[in-house]
Structure 1
Amino acid sequence: MTATLTTPAQAAPRPAHRDGNILRWLAAYTSSMIGDSVYYIALSWAAVQAGSPSQAGVVMAVSAVPRALLMLGGGVLADRLGPRRVVIGSDVVRCAAVLAVAGLLFLTSPGLWPLAALALVFGAVDAVFMPAVGVLPARVTTRDQLARVQGMRGLAIRFAGVVGGPLGGLGVAVGGAAAAFGLAGLLIAVSVPLLLAVRVRELPADDRKAAEGGTAWRDLAAGLGCIRRHRVLAPLMLAIALGDLGFVGPLNVGLALLADERGWGASGMGLVLSGFGIGAGAASLLLTVRGRLPRAGRVAGWAIIAGSVAIGALAYVPSVITAVGVALLVGLLAGLSGAMCGALIQTQADPAYLGRVTSVSGLVSLGLAPLSMPLFAAAIGGWGTGPVFVVSAVVCGLGGVIALCVRDLRRAELPR
């Protein structure tokens, strides 16, 4: 099922956006992400209908716990079993779980317990799925195309966000939560045959031996040691962690509270989020077209710092139109720095440890940073939006300062 890609020495390299193998991977990834968006809408609607608002909030948040606890183990599995095999298995489990709940809701009204169980399953599977998804681009393309592939992946995420919401709402309107869950399961299922048709490069024998080494704990310790000793990866992980911790609160909970405080309403908040999405999409399109930006370390550092200034300014803009413009800038800079950091991880990490390295960055971005949102909301309640946004901007900006102050990271380049 796994074939070795033709090496550049045997054939002229093909740009990623013209490579059928990469386009199959991108189609599978996009379908899975749209399914995720529909799933979250179905879950939130079903939870609100079955319980109180506070109970629905618990159901929506419960998946973050296994995701945070198991993410590092997911990186070990991605390295041991191979990223494509892990992604396919994860999509099969997610599809089966969602369709099972869809059938249960169609036949009866079981209450909140199957929704909570589904959220737990999704969180646990996400902990395995996300590191493998992060590794897969490096195994389906050449190193010189990784930045372009990151741009294409960013476009897929933005497309899924734009399409998934209306599809989920349509599913709920037509057939309730059961129909929306069924639609989500079918969209996730579409990714499986596409992934089966994707060719991935085998690791060299020495790297494969390192990836399939001792016990799980020993493998995890080896991956963490690889990061700790690396002159680029160690400061890069710290820069990513600080950037994400300063970014998540303002652009999630903070924006809703800011819109309520300024009287912008839900429509105003939606416009600001649209500005952010357009900016992030523009950054992804730039990388898709250009394929590579020089001075990747410097670009990432300055983009984080400039983005942090824009985050702090968001709390002081006088009107919703100005806020849309600032959010567009935040999205552009965050999309650019995120893609650069992702490409640097995939080119700097030893291929045998890439799953474990990816899981460490994902642990902060997707596991721990979302758990800081209640603390961020409480801080705004105590000190107001302006000071808390500024503190978050400072935390985010420290990530950029680290990227520029550490010489090896500042001078890091992407392959030509």
Structure 2
Amino acid sequence: MTWLAVPLYAHAQGMSNAQIGALFAAPVLAQAPLNLVGGAYTDRIGGRRIMLGSCFVVMAAGLWFMVAAGFWMLMVGQVALILSRAAFWPATWAMATELPGERGVQLGRLNAVTNFGQIGGTVLCGFVLAAAGFGATFLVLTATGVLSLFAGLATPRLHKRHAALSARHPLAGYLPLLRRRIIVYTMLCAYLSALPFSLTMSFYPLLFAQFGHSEGASGVLLGLRAAGSILASLLTARFVRTGPQTLWPVTCGVAVAASVGFVPVINHVAPIALWMLIVGAATAAMTLYFQITISEASGVAERGSALALGGLGWSVSHLSTPLLMGFLADRYGIVVGFYVLGAFAAACAIVIAFTRHWAFQRS
């Protein structure tokens, strides 16, 4: 919900594009280390406890935004939300890999449910904003955190404590993981898969507002990205394969680049909706690819940490994308910013294409 509400809330308070970009980029500096800590403690105490703690933070952040005024109060709320997400993602990914059944299918279902929540939250946010304003929107966010907490309490306890982990420092396993080429490669894939996600949280709403679309229409358009992700997560989960021969990451990277770069070309709801569906599907397939690749390259005892490193690729994207877009939007306009980021995403796809075989070689 905050992807639409927070940038519009900041814009309504008179903040510049650079300040709005900083609201989404600066908290990621805190997300990166917590992401690693969350992954390490997922291996040690289980993802379920980490997930429940994240729900409490979301509830507190929603209440905070209801009274937030000015850049620094909004920054505090953003930090809380970013920290919650940083702990939540590696925890739930690790939980999904421990479920019975085919790993790709379980991860696809998790991603589909996540994106379904994004659709409901984004569309609901747009209509609540239009009907009742920002205060009511953040109250709904708090209520969502309460519902998530009760849903989390109903999940099974799957984690088994590993005796070898309790005898060493929680962060000790990261250096050996970073020595593996496959981990570095999947971090790049995660970075590219998160780039449109970062724009959804920051500058897509501003682009749609500049094009003259209402809050309700913007919510629907942003929800289409999640709809594309749901379809891709459910339909491609059985077909996504890892390994040096598969073209999944290259194809998805090219689709991400095209959909980001071409979305501002025609200011009409139909082509914009099409590009949002495409970018959602491409990022979902790329996310599944890096999740499956990391899961198969790591053991159960280190999977939370390995997935957290994939999440670190997301964190770097969430840091760099809003900052770069804020800089470009203030100097050259938001439309030019989307063109530049589309070209940058294409360059990332080219790098992935040329490093696939290197990544799967034993270092």
TM-score (norm 1): 0.67
Counterpart for residue 292 of structure 2: 343
How many Å separate the matches in 2 of 1:273 and 1:174?
Answer: 18
Counterpart for residue 139 of structure 1: 98
Counterpart for residue 120 of structure 2: 163
How many Å separate the matches in 1 of 2:145 and 2:68?
Answer: 24
Counterpart for residue 212 of structure 1: 166
Structure 1 residues 214 and 300, CA gap change in structure 2 (3 angstroms): same
What's the RMSD between the two structures over aligned residues?
4.1
Per-residue CA deviations over 1:136-171 (Å, capped at 9, x if unaligned) read 2112334xx222222222322332223224545677
Alignment equivalent of 2:263, drawn from 310, 314, 317: 314
Counterpart for residue 377 of structure 1: 326
Counterpart for residue 5 of structure 1: none
Per-residue CA deviations over 1:194-227 (Å, capped at 9, x if unaligned) read 4344334444x7xx2343342244x2xx223213
Counterpart for residue 47 of structure 2: 83
Per-residue CA deviations over 1:29-67 (Å, capped at 9, x if unaligned) read xxxxxxxx3x67777788789xx3339959954644432
Q: What's the offset of the Cα at 1:409?
A: 5.4
Q: How does 1:401-416 map to 2 (within 5 A)?
A: 401-405=350-354, 406-407=356-357
- Residue 92 of structure 2 aligns with an amino acid whose one-letter code is V
Counterpart for residue 189 of structure 1: 146
266-275 vs 368-377, which moves further: 266-275
Paired residues of 1:42 and 1:177 also in contact (CA < 8 A) = yes
Counterpart for residue 15 of structure 2: 54
Counterpart for residue 26 of structure 1: none
Paired residues of 1:130 and 1:362 also in contact (CA < 8 A) = yes
Q: How does 1:273-312 map to 2 (within 5 A)?
A: 273-287=222-236, 291-294=238-241, 297-312=246-261
Q: How does 1:106-125 map to 2 (within 5 A)?
A: 117-125=76-84
Structure 1 residues 44 and 301, CA gap change in structure 2 (3 angstroms): closer
How many Å separate the matches in 1 of 2:214 and 2:305?
Answer: 40
Counterpart for residue 179 of structure 2: 228
- Residue 163 of structure 2 aligns with an amino acid whose one-letter code is K
Paired residues of 1:249 and 1:372 also in contact (CA < 8 A) = yes
Structure 1 residues 141 and 407, CA gap change in structure 2 (3 angstroms): same
Paired residues of 1:172 and 1:179 also in contact (CA < 8 A) = yes
Structure 1 residues 337 and 94, CA gap change in structure 2 (3 angstroms): closer
Structure 1 residues 254 and 198, CA gap change in structure 2 (3 angstroms): closer
Q: What's the offset of the Cα at 1:234?
A: 2.5
How many Å separate the matches in 1 of 2:155 and 2:104?
Answer: 19
- Residue 214 of structure 1 aligns with an amino acid whose one-letter code is R
Paired residues of 1:314 and 1:323 also in contact (CA < 8 A) = yes
Which ranges in structure 2 are unaligned for 5 or more consecutive residues?
A: none
Q: Secondary structure of 2:155's match?
A: coil
TM-score (norm 2): 0.76
Per-residue CA deviations over 1:203-257 (Å, capped at 9, x if unaligned) read 4x7xx2343342244x2xx22321322x422222223324545x45766656456
Counterpart for residue 190 of structure 2: 240
Structure 1 residues 266 and 210, CA gap change in structure 2 (3 angstroms): farther
- Residue 73 of structure 1 aligns with an amino acid whose one-letter code is V
Q: What's the offset of the Cα at 1:286?
A: 0.9
Overall identity of the aligned pairs, in %: 19
